[in-house]
A and B are shown apart, each in its own frame.
Chain A
């Protein structure tokens, strides 16, 4: 009645349906898994020095040294492929109400690496403002992470930053 090919086809179709059902269930359940990440950032030192920068002319560059202490191991469940972690600086100026700059980032691929302890973290990227001057505004520093699951939607999170610190005035040379 049914030859081998028809049976194989039926089995394959059913297997595909079941697989997608399971993957869909995993994707739906993942956001509800509990997690308790924590991080603390303390700013050790900030210097602001002025250099010529592309077409902006004289721009103020901020050089930051931070201490980073973070425990993101709880974000690693069986459905986590990797974490993208970055230190984020947020501040407000007169002309621009939202300014967000990533200072340092790292990709974490295993639970052991998720215990981050870096002292003397320097900003990896240029910290320049679009208005060429920081004008000594307050900036808050927080840790931002992106969770990349094996199956499911990409999610992200951020620590609440209670460490707000002012930019110092321009200094003449790098210490």
Chain B
């Protein structure tokens, strides 16, 4: 981006003018030269790039059957397996959850997902409903303190996905 030359003021000193119109002078001139069709094409190009990125993300969400296939670890409750800042790749297979799986789940009414391990599981025979209790490896107590008051179990609907693999963020490794 070309910087406009310093303007001489009344005292004949060279001063830089930072008004935005002058700063984008070159670009605005370029845009004015284009016809309406070319302008529309540029806008369309830009939208194509943005929507391709969105399609890749949503396609990945569909393929892994999980609403958010890549998440970041926010707390140290699963150390030494995952540290804060690691990326987790999730998938949600059709089989029921098993004890020992590391799951990412959301407590209803809260936005922040949590990644912990399933330590207890009870499946109802008639309905197939799963009653799940989770706990972080690095925590001393199970997650009942985190669930909503009065809630003792979570269910399959609360789970966003199971961990498939981790991408370590080595910046924190040396802390």
Answer yes or no: are A and B bound together in one complex: yes
Q: What residues make up the interface of A, taking CB atoms closer than 8 Å to B?
A: 27, 54-55, 82, 84, 86, 88, 94-102, 105, 107, 109, 125, 129-130, 144, 146, 148, 152-154, 156
Question: Is B164 part of the binding interface, using a Cβ–Cβ cutoff of 8 Å?
Answer: yes
Docked pose: A42 CA to B163 CA in angstroms: 32
Docked pose: A167 CA to B165 CA in angstroms: 38
What residue in chain A is nearest B122 (Cβ atoms)?
A130
Interface centre among A54, A102, A129, A144 (most CB of B within 10 A): A102
Given A99-B121, A102-B119, decide whether A55 and B150 contact each other with a Cβ distance below 8 A: yes
User: B98-138 interface mask toward A, CB cutoff 8 Å, 1 = contact, 0 = none?
Assistant: 11111000000000000001011111111000010000010
Give 27 A-B contacts (CB < 8 Å), ordered by A residue. A55-B150, A84-B117, A86-B100, A86-B119, A88-B99, A95-B126, A96-B123, A96-B124, A98-B122, A99-B121, A99-B123, A100-B99, A101-B99, A101-B119, A101-B120, A101-B121, A102-B119, A107-B80, A109-B80, A129-B122, A130-B131, A144-B99, A144-B100, A146-B100, A146-B102, A154-B166, A156-B100
Contacts of A97 in B (CB 8 A): 123-125
B164 touches A95 (CB 8 A): no
A102 touches B80 (CB 8 A): no
Tell me the number of A-to-B contacts counted with CB atoms below 8 Å. 73
Docked pose: A105 CA to B126 CA in angstroms: 31
Q: What residues make up the interface of B, taking CB atoms closer than 8 Å to A?
A: 80-81, 96, 98-102, 117, 119-126, 131, 137, 142, 150, 152-153, 163-166
A84 touches B137 (CB 8 A): yes
Given A54-B152, A82-B81, A130-B131, decide whether A154 and B164 contact each other with a Cβ distance below 8 A: yes
Docked pose: A34 CA to B21 CA in angstroms: 68
Interface centre among A86, A94, A98, A129 (most CB of B within 10 A): A98
Interface centre among A27, A99, A144, A152 (most CB of B within 10 A): A99
Contacts of A82 in B (CB 8 A): 80-81
B165 touches A96 (CB 8 A): no
B137 touches A102 (CB 8 A): no
